[in-house]
Amino acid sequence: PPYAEIARVPALVVALGQRGLVAPGAILAIEHARRHAPAEIEGWTTLSHPHYGDSAVLLLMHPAEAVPS
């Protein structure tokens, strides 16, 4: 995974939701280096954020209603 690109993840996730490319209620898994978590992603709910050694997986749920663009 391109862990060095983690700073770009929040904007990408928000854009996916705004463009209707992710179904309401969808769950998204973002794997990242444990020490470099992505910034909070507006409008998405964090379901879980377990760590496994040097890696972590952020599980997010898309809002049940469409996010206005």
pLDDT at 69 over 60: no
The CA-based diameter of the chain, rounded to the nearest angstrom, is 38
pLDDT confidence band for 2 (50 / 70 / 90): low
For range 9-22, the mean pLDDT: 91
CA distance 27 to 18: 15
Answer yes or no: are the C-beta atoms of 17 and 43 closer than 8 Å: yes
Q: Output the six-digit token pair for 15.
A: 């854009």
For range 5-25, the mean pLDDT: 91
pLDDT score at 68? 52
List, in sequence order, every residue forming a beta bridge with 46; answer none if it has no partner: 60
CA distance 54 to 36: 10
In angstroms, what is the C-alpha Rg of the chain?
12
pLDDT in tens, 27-68: 999 999 999 989 999 889 999 999 999 999 999 999 876 545
